[in-house]
Amino acid sequence: MEIIGRLVRNASWLLLAQAISRAVGFAYALVLARFLGGAGFGQYSVIFTVIGFFSVVAEGGITTLIMRDVARNKETARSYMSIGLVLSLGLGLIAYLTLMGAVALLRYPKDMSRLIMLAGISLIMNSISGVFISLFNAFERMKIPALLSIVTSLTTSANGILLLLNGFGLKATVYAAIMASLVQLLISGYITVKTIALPSLSFLTSKGMGHLFSEALPYGLRAFLSIIYFKIDIVILSKMTRFGEVGNYSAAYKILEVLFAGIGIANLVLFPLTSSLHLSSKENLRLLFEKYTLYTLVLSLPGLAMLIYFSKEALTFLYGAPFEGATSILRLLIVALAIMYANAPLSNLVLSSDMQRRVLALSVLTAGSNVLLNLLLVYRLGAEGAALATIGSELVTTILFYRLVRWYLGRTAFLINIIKPSVSVLLASTVMVMVAPLSLMLGFIAFLLTYILLLLILRVFSSEDRDLISRAFKYFVVKTEPATLK
């Protein structure tokens, strides 16, 4: 019970931090888009995408290794912190010097290049504070990283908006990021020294540093491949198109990131359970995997269909009329998001397993496919090409991960759990498109009724699913009835 209590408590703090940080970050992006316009928002996206690539270099997988090893043996905290701080400082400096070379090669406008170099200062601060934060995670004090995440997002947004109001323009975003990194470093360092341990030079040996670095390298490589997979499109767009088009793509992609956050949280919560089922029961692991896939798609696809239909109105409401040009981009990215939802259970199962070498090999293939598709499609189609490349690379990822899961678990209901909800939502969307011109409300009702009817006709839910839904419904009715009676 104590272990379950710790898991629930830590998960609750992480969920709270992610929800607040995502909401604040998205609101900040909306403000920036309206202040900076399409081209300015595109430049902002490029600056922090480039910084994101080199932040992974600065981190080098060290924080993940510290969290893993110190969690296993708390007595190693002081030695790992001491070595980790020195390595993080060194990698941060290397990342900054490499950033200087990359900026020279990318040949962005001079003002923008200076801002990238200025924002690069945060690389060093973030790499050091990452060591402190990893120690809190290792000691299962998730409350501190959660609160730090919230403070950092609020500090960035508040200072950024304040500086924008005072006429700093694009510079405001960089100054705000540096101030937030400094605040995070000072607070995390102070709490670590006060509550965990003081670093010591006595732990700095060439053998210890070499061991930590070599063990951390695979984690750093995987993180680097991940950021290539998700962010290379912005860099390629910035070199092949105008910054205004980058701004349109970034605006649409921000919506995708917010909508995917829910699945990210679900994966985070389910990860400990999935990890334990790998060892205890493959049958229960298969069942969890199948139900996760089915319920995710049944619940998400109708909302995604609605967003495709109202893409233009959503962009105008969130960003303003200048971003209407992103409508087709958003629609394509929503298709990519639907594939991401299907891929999420696969990723959760694979990443929680002991198949890390295979996962690393697949990550190389998926990142490579994304780069290749972007180079081919962006040149011809611009931002829409980048969105199509996202769809293509997600399909490649899903196929590769599905093959790995099938090898590991054998036959599953994964494909049928994708096909039935997808067919249902496509046919229901067709009905809505036909009825909506007569009455929008009538079209929406027709969509929902058709979708539910098709789910029943196609027997999407088994008797076990229906029993589970019934019990959940009765549980919530019982929980809410007393409050209603009062």
Q: How confident is the model at residue 2 (pLDDT cuts 50, 70, 90)?
A: low
Q: Is 421 within a domain?
A: no
Q: What's the rounded Cα separation, in Å, for the pair 398 and 405?
A: 10
Model confidence over 423-458: pLDDT tens digits? Answer: 999 999 999 999 988 888 998 899 999 999 999 998
The last residue of a domain, from among 234, 249, 270: 234
* 120 and 266 belong to one structural domain: no
Question: pLDDT tier at 351 (50, 70, 90 boundaries)?
Answer: confident
Beta strands in 77-163 (DSSP E): none
Type of residue found at 84: G
C-beta of residue 320 within 8 angstroms of C-beta of residue 340: no
Among the ranges given (102-116, 211-225, 419-433, 460-474), the one the predictor scored with the smallest mean pLDDT: 460-474
SS3 205: coil
Let me know whether 218 and 245 are in one domain.
Answer: no
Yes or no: say if 13 and 146 are a contact pair by the CB < 8 Å rule.
yes
Residue 294 and residue 179 in one domain: no
Q: Which residues contact 67 (CB under 8 A, 6 or more apart)?
A: 134, 135, 137, 138
Q: Looking at the structure, do residues 204 and 245 belong to the same domain, yes or no?
A: no
- DSSP letter, residue 196: T
> Do both 272 and 397 map to the same domain?
yes
Residue 418 inside a domain? The answer is no
Which residues fall within 8 angstroms of residue 415, CB to CB, at 6 or more apart?
402
99 burial level (CB within 10 Å; 0-12, 13-18, 19+):
buried
pLDDT mean over 219-225: 83
Q: Which residue has the tokens 């430049």?
A: 43
Angle, helix 2-59 to helix 171-195, in steps of 10 degrees: 130
Asked whether residue 97 is domain-assigned, the answer is yes
CB 151 within 8 A of CB 181: no
CA gap 32, 42 in Å, rounded: 10
Taking the C-alpha atoms of residue 44 and residue 33, their distance in angstroms, rounded to an integer, is: 9
Q: Are residues 95 and 118 in the same domain?
A: yes
Structure pTM? 0.85
Boundary-marking domain end, from 234, 249, 284: 234
Sign of the Cα torsion 73, 75, 77, 79 reads negative
Where helices occur in 382-462 by DSSP H, the ranges are 383-409, 414-435, 440-457
Tens of pLDDT, residue by residue over 237-285, are 999 999 999 999 999 999 998 888 777 777 766 766 676 777 777 888 8
pLDDT of residue 221: 84
Q: Residue 226 domain-assigned?
A: yes
State the Cα–Cα distance between residues 423 and 432, nearest whole angstrom.
14
Is 215 found in the same domain as 267? Answer: no
Confirm whether 136 is domain-assigned. yes
Residue 419, domain member (yes or no): no
Q: Both 216 and 75 in a single domain?
A: yes
pLDDT above 70 covers a percentage of the chain that reads 91
Does the pLDDT value for residue 296 go beyond 80? yes
Total residue count of the chain as it appears in this document: 486
Residue 269 pLDDT = 66
CA dihedral sign, ordered 345, 348, 349, 350? positive
153 neighbors 213 (Cβ within 8 angstroms): no
Instruction: Decide: 78 and 198 in contact? Cβ < 8 Å.
Output: yes
Domain of 282, in residue numbers: 241-412
Backbone angles phi, psi at 61, to 5 degrees: 80, 0
Q: Are residues 407 and 328 in the same domain?
A: yes
CB 274, CB 288: distance < 8 Å = yes
Tell me which of 363, 389, 412 is where a domain ends: 412
Q: Sorting pLDDT into bands at 50, 70 and 90, what band is 98?
A: very high
Query: What secondary structure does DSSP assign to 210-255, as a single string?
Result: HHHHHHHHHHHHHHHHHHHHHHHHHHHHHHHS-HHHHHHHHHHHHH
Q: Which helix (H) or strand (E) holds 193?
A: helix 171-195
Examine the domain organization and report whether 272 and 175 are in the same domain: no
pLDDT at residue 485 in the model: 36
Least reliable range by pLDDT among 4-18, 134-148, 205-219, 404-418: 4-18
Q: How many domains does the chain have?
A: 3
What is the predicted pLDDT for the residue at 97?
A: 93
Pick 217 or 357 by higher pLDDT: 217
**What is the mean predicted confidence (pLDDT) over 23-43?**
92
Decide: residue 250, CB within 10 A, 0-12 exposed, 13-18 middle, 19+ buried: buried
Asked if residue 417 belongs to a domain, the reply is: no
Q: Is residue 12 very low, low, confident or very high in pLDDT (cuts 50, 70, 90)? A: confident
pLDDT of residue 1: 46
Residues 219 and 271 in one domain: no
369 within some domain:
yes
Domain co-membership, 360 together with 297: yes
Q: What is the mean pLDDT of residues 15-26?
A: 86
Q: Residue 486 pLDDT > 70, yes or no?
A: no
- Mean pLDDT estimate for the chain: 86
**Residues 363-395 pLDDT 10s:** 889 989 999 999 999 988 999 999 999 999 999
